[in-house]
Chains A and B, each alone.
Chain A
């Protein structure tokens, strides 16, 4: 198939119908068609991880994912992390620990951290370091990011919920 066609996407629980061409990436569709500009784009070749979104719960590089290939899948972007105007505990922890500097990697860091905690609610420092290593923090603020994730993990375990 060539040329434009309409596909169905589920983003942050909302169904969308979007007209795409086969070579359009998920990143382009999110930012340019759905106006969800929280997801950042940078290197375009899988080095920096800043375009990370969750596809069926797993961190994917949206700049290297063709939109057409993720039709019918559940996509979570940073815009969908807070619920009912309540921040996710990871988001609160990032604020409290000063884990946000320039903010460019923050959406990708938060979503990657969410996937980690969904998989492993009680990670070690080393496991966190490994899991987030595909997302480059240009400010090199990793220490506070790791501390924020450690603290959020504990909070989520204590509450038994990702939201306050």
Chain B
């Protein structure tokens, strides 16, 4: 039978402010419990030690997904499954839908929240990669103030975020997509339920057959998820001709800094960045009806 969890103190704040105060007072001794899938598994594996958990599950008003003029709004308690089943996400933010849909355990999606997934700060997160390509903003609450921050600036390293003591993420804002936006999410995995060896999300805005704007986000190939800015430059202003796509894929592979671990070697990951980036752009071309 599995090992038991080590005992901890349990807090159940009723408001974000109360949660924030607890996080400030207890600092690194406590962790936020939302869905718990990753957190409790890590406590059980003895990867982390906690003296207390701040359970935010019973704070009202944090479980929502809605679209308005500012974009798609996701609450801190909104599960991956809720997002997967949301018509707005499926129809208007396909890139996010595809990333969530690629996660195969229904149990994990019923329990796990999108915000929790981002706050784990693993560079392998499918959700984070797609949200980076979508220019998502994190809504953050602290003991006395609120702020928002681009997801791009949220990560400092493996399992390290820019959250200050007392701060917690209360939601995500995904800005409205410009007309002519297309996206593609791809990942390389050994089995359907495994973590990605490499994942990539590309979003491009096309106008009159030309690539006006593009985001290329990559996961599992650096200490944090990353944008391949030089690869983006290679595509911006082109008509996504074959040469431009190949050039972008080459540049993306040069920009990443992968490691060798049980899932892949660094060399293989770098090579696969090239392949997946090219395929993702090609998929966008097919969807957008761009020839060549």
Chain A residues close to B by CB (< 8 Å): 1-2, 21-25, 28, 41-47, 49, 52, 58-61, 63-66, 68-69, 112, 115-116, 130-135
Asked whether, in the complex, the Cβ of A133 is within 8 Å of the Cβ of B192, the reply is: yes
Instruction: Say yes or no for B290: interface residue by CB 8 A criterion.
Output: no
Given contacts A41-B1, A60-B107, A66-B36, contact A47 B193 (CB under 8 A): yes
A134 touches B105 (CB 8 A): yes
Quick one: CB contact mask for B30-46 with A, threshold 8 Å, 1 for yes? Answer: 00010011001100110
B81: chain A residues within 8 A (beta carbon): 58
Tell me which residues across on chain A come within 8 A of B108, comparing CB atoms: 46, 61, 134
Is B8's CB under 8 angstroms from A22's CB? yes
Contact, CB under 8 Å: A1 / B11: yes
Given known pairs A42-B2, A130-B104, A131-B106, the reply for A61 and B37 (CB within 8 Å) is: yes
Contact A25 B192 (CB under 8 A): no
- In the complex, which residues of chain B have a beta carbon less than 8 angstroms from the beta carbon of A68? 10
* B104 in contact with A23 (CB, 8 Å): no
Residue of A nearest to B194 (CB): A47
Known A61-B111, A69-B57; contact A2-B105, beta-carbon cutoff 8 A? no
Alpha-carbon gap, A1 to B22, bound state (A): 13
With A25-B5, A44-B2 known as contacts, the answer to whether A59 contacts B44 (CB < 8 A) is: no
A160 to chain B, nearest CB (A): 25
**A47 to B106, alpha carbons, bound, how many Å?**
12
Q: How far is the CB of A21 from chain B (nearest CB, A)?
A: 6
- Collect the chain B residues with CB atoms within 8 Å of residue A63's CB: 2
- Minimum CB–CB distance from A13 to chain B (whole Å) comes to 21
Contact of B36 among A49, A64, A131 (CB under 8 A): A64
Contact of B7 among A21, A42, A43 (CB under 8 A): A21
**Chain B interfacial residues counted at CB < 8 A:** 32
Contact, CB under 8 Å: A49 / B107:
yes
Confirm or deny: B147 has a beta carbon within 8 angstroms of a beta carbon on chain A.
no
- Contacting pair B193 A133 (CB below 8 A): yes
Is there a chain A Cβ closer than 8 Å to B265's Cβ? Answer: no
A47 to B11 CA separation, bound complex (whole angstroms): 27
Is B110 among interface residues, defined by CB-CB distance under 8 A? yes
User: Taking the nearest CB of chain A, how far is it from the CB of B86, in angstroms?
Assistant: 14
* CB pairs A–B below 8 angstroms (21 shown): A1-B11, A2-B10, A21-B7, A22-B7, A23-B7, A23-B8, A24-B5, A28-B4, A46-B41, A58-B110, A59-B106, A59-B110, A60-B107, A61-B108, A64-B40, A65-B111, A69-B33, A69-B57, A112-B107, A115-B106, A134-B104
| Residues of chain A contacted by B192 (CB below 8 angstroms) | 133
Known contacts A22-B8, A46-B41: A64-B111 contact under CB 8 Å: yes
Task: Report chain B residues within 8 Å CB of A46.
Answer: 37, 41, 105, 107-108
Chain A residues with CB under 8 A of B106: 59, 112, 115-116, 130-134
Interface residues of B in 28-68 (CB under 8 A from A): 33, 36-37, 40-41, 44-45, 53, 55, 57
CA–CA, A110 to B54, complex, Å? Answer: 33
Chain A residue, CB-CB nearest to B9? A2
Residue of A nearest to B5 (CB): A23
Q: Using CB atoms, name the residue of chain B closest to A68.
A: B10
Q: A28-B4, A65-B36 are in contact. Are A60 and B110 (CB under 8 A)?
A: yes
Contact: B55 with A69, CB < 8 Å?
yes
| 20 extra interface residue pairs, beta carbon distance < 8 Å, beyond A21-B7, A66-B10 | A1-B11, A2-B9, A22-B7, A28-B4, A42-B2, A44-B2, A45-B2, A45-B45, A46-B41, A46-B105, A60-B107, A64-B37, A64-B41, A64-B111, A65-B36, A68-B10, A133-B193, A134-B104, A134-B105, A134-B193
Nearest A-chain residue to B50, judged by Cβ: A23
CA distance A31 to B1 in the complex (A): 12
Known: A59-B106, A115-B106. A23 touches B6 (CB 8 A): yes
Residue B179 lies at the interface, judged by CB distance under 8 Å to chain A: no
